Amino acid sequence: MPNAKKVALITGANKGLGFEMARQLGQAGATVILAARDPQKGEAAARKLRGEGVDAHFLKLDVDNRADHSTAVEFINRTFGRLDVLINNAGISVDGLGGGKAATTSDDSLRRTFETNFFAPVALTQTLLPLLRKSEAARIVNMSSILGSQTLHATPGSPIYDFKSLAYDASKAALNSFTIHLAHELKDTKIKVNSAHPGWVKTDMGTEAAPMEIPEGAKTGVELALLADGGPNGGFFHLGKTLPW
């Protein structure tokens, strides 16, 4: 299916990685739907991309609000009739980088983090699946993190062995599990489901201490969104390389 015919929805797309993935997909010829909680910021982001020649649309979508999920289905079905790409990008880190020890993480931190990073993308994906099934070859990309790798967390000497934050890490591990299960369920269809680790990127969450710039960090998600028919399904990737679960 030509990229010009693709319709892509990116959550948390008014800034950072979400905005840059929308930009790169738009530059590749896709119609992009920028989903964000704040209408003013979201519309401003879409307007900026339209000024760059991208076919961009804003959709008010708070991923934690199930009523917004239903509104999204109505908007996409009415406007485009199908969805070709879903990038579950919206996420939070309540305890901050390196915070949230296993012995002291609060119930509130766990629940808030899992609501946005796991329960919301699962619910949104399930709600949008009928529209994704209407695509000739849909792609679902769950924006995860290397911090969701159980293997690397358990391996002394790994890049993340001494860098742990229970709520965030566990929520991304759970999201990876969703990727594996949904990919298996859809393995006999033309829908591909993969997890992406963007890298440590200079975003609000990653901070200026991060080594990667946003355009580089957006590449993995965009590559998985534009996979050819022979591309992988049910994997965990960073810049073309497979990561351990």
Catalytic positions are 168, 172
- What are the strands of the beta sheet with 139-143, ordered from one edge? 56-60, 31-36, 7-10, 85-88, 139-143, 192-196, 236-238, 241-242
DSSP per residue, 130-179: HHHHTSSS-EEEEE--GGG-HHHHTSTTSTTTT---HHHHHHHHHHHHHH
As given in the structure block, the two tokens for residue 53 are: 């020649």
Q: What is the DSSP letter of 7?
A: E
Would you give the distance in Å from CA 223 to the centre of its chain? 12
